[in-house]
């Protein structure tokens, strides 16, 4: 479906300078850029921007855009947004969706897939404020050309010409009419980054510690060209450095390895935060992050195993080979399930824990304990205490138990 974004000529004072509202930055993106990316993620096959021509160059050079973006120059305020839409009717499809770039938009607020038949839908938030119009026609809007898009949406609902569709998002469609509202929207975006506590979301350490640090780092990086994949790569490089230091078997270097690995775990949260803030999520980026995490985990396991070998443990080398092979086999099975389900993150793994109360509790305990944030902190503590054998045993037991539980569940499901 075609999505039309109206960018008005209204301005606000930001840092002593008059800026077009559609061009002000919130969470590292202009409101117009955010609206276009939101439309792309929501499933638009074509985007039309109706707004001042001076915004065109910055909007169209966005390298994250994969959807065709057209432009119709228009110098009208948001209060005349319907008139702006009608003026561009030669570029409109028979049915299109529309929203204004005077607010923080996200894909959830553009429910393109919800339209059924010829219904015109008005996406509304919990306070009944209109957010966008889905599946509208030029004829419907021409009768309301003197109104703003919000006022036209309310009239559609009042006259029965449109049907309300409740929508919600982590960050509501906050309208920006002042610099104070812009700063408040920026804070709301960052507040929405915090994931819930759960085996399929953030672990205990990430929820109470890592997110506090990573969100501060994301604030510093969100206005830079740094990409999520670059952050993932940095976290993996740090993890490999930690693995090499751990492999020395020297206490001081192993402590340094634990600190670096914990730092990598914190940084690993930044890539997803930047992706969600700047709406540059991608399946390939998720896969890259997942693979980087798993490479780091296997390398660090091997490094600690080598440290145990250097310290005279006769079982270390054989156990390292068995553990690494088990880890690779576990990842292969999990990757297969993720590919079949169309996911890319272990948090989205479709494997359902066993139905039995005891077995389910065991699997969920493994899921919590196996989350990178918790076991990374435990590894740091064990290495500080100069207990590399205990750290190795914990990782080995965890991966073998997880692999056994997954294999048994698959055998049970096929029997």
pLDDT confidence tier of residue 13, bands split at 50, 70 and 90: very high
pLDDT at 116: 63
Percent of the chain with pLDDT over 70: 91
Stated as kind and residue range, the H or E segment containing 362 is helix 357-369
Please give the pLDDT value at position 362.
Answer: 57
Could you please report the per-residue DSSP string of 20-82?
A: EGGG-EETTEEHHHHHHHHHHHHT-SEEEEEE-GGGHHHHHT-TT--S-EEEEE----GGGHH
CATH number of 195-414: 1.20.120.1760
DSSP secondary-structure letter at 117? T
What's the mean per-residue pLDDT of the chain? 88
pLDDT at res. 366:
56
* Domain ranges within the chain, ordered by starting residue: 2-166, 195-414
| pLDDT digits 0-9 by tens, 134-165 | 888 888 888 888 999 999 999 998 998 888 88
Mean pLDDT value of segment 36-45: 93
pLDDT for 139 equals 86
- This prediction has a pTM of 0.86
389-406 pLDDT, tens per residue? 999 999 999 899 889 988
The answer to whether residue 316 scores a pLDDT higher than 70 is yes
User: Can you tell me whether residue 301 is helix, strand or coil?
Assistant: helix
Q: Strands, E, within 101-216: which ranges?
A: 121-124, 130-136, 163-166
Chain center to CA of 99: 22
pLDDT at 357 over 70: no
Q: What is the largest CA-CA distance in the chain?
A: 85
Q: Does residue 358 register a pLDDT over 60?
A: no
Identify the band that residue 200 occupies on the pLDDT scale cut at 50, 70 and 90. Answer: low
Integer Cα distance of 228 and 290 in angstroms: 12
Average pLDDT of span 308-315 = 96
Query: Taken in order 148, 153, 157, 159, is the CA torsion positive or negative?
Result: positive
The region, left, alpha or beta by phi > 0 then psi within -120 to 50, assigned to residue 132 is: beta
Q: Which CATH architecture has domain 2-166?
A: Alpha-Beta Complex (3.90)
With a cut of 70, say whether residue 201 has pLDDT above it: no
């Amino acid at each position: 479906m075609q999505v039309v974004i109206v960018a008005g000529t209204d301005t606000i004072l930001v840092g002593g300078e008059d800026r077009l509202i559609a061009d002000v930055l919130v969470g590292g993106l202009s409101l117009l850029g955010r609206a276009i990316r939101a439309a792309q993620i929501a499933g638009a096959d074509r985007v039309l921007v109706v707004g001042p021509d001076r915004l065109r160059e910055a909007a169209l050079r966005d390298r994250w855009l994969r959807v065709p973006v057209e432009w119709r120059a228009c110098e009208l305020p948001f209060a005349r947004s319907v008139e702006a839409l009608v003026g561009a009717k030669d570029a409109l499809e028979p049915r299109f969706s529309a929203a204004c770039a005077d607010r923080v938009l996200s894909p959830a607020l553009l429910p393109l897939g919800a339209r059924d038949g010829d219904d015109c839908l008005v996406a509304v938030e919990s306070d009944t404020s209109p957010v966008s119009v889905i599946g509208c026609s030029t004829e419907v809007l021409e009768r309301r050309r003197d109104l703003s898009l919000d006022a036209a949406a309310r009239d559609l609902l009042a006259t029965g010409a449109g049907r309300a569709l409740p929508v919600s998002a982590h960050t509501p469609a906050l309208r920006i009419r002042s610099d104070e509202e812009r700063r408040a929207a920026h804070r709301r975006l960052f507040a929405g980054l915090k994931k819930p506590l759960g085996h399929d979301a953030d672990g205990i350490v990430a929820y109470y510690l890592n997110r506090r640090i990573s969100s501060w780092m994301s604030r510093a990086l969100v206005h830079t060209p740094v990409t999520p994949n670059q952050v993932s790569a940095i976290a993996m490089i740090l993890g490999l450095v930690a693995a090499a230091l751990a492999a020395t078997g020297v206490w001081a270097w192993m402590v340094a390895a634990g600190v670096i690995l914990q730092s990598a775990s914190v940084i690993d949260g930044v890539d997803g935060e930047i992706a969600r803030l700047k709406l540059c999520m991608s399946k390939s980026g998720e896969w890259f992050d997942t693979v980087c995490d798993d490479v780091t985990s296997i390398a660090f396991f091997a490094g600690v195993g080598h440290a145990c070998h250097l310290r005279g443990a006769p079982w270390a080398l054989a156990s390292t080979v068995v553990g690494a092979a088990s880890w690779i086999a576990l990842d292969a099975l999990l990757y297969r399930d993720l590919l079949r389900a169309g996911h890319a993150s272990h948090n989205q793994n479709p494997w359902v824990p066993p139905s039995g109360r005891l077995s389910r509790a065991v699997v969920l305990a493994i899921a919590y304990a196996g989350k990178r944030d918790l076991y990374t902190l435990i590894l740091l503590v064990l290495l500080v205490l100069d207990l590399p054998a205990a750290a190795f045993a914990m990782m080995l037991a965890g991966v073998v138990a997880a692999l056994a539980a997954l294999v048994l569940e698959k055998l049970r499901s096929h029997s």
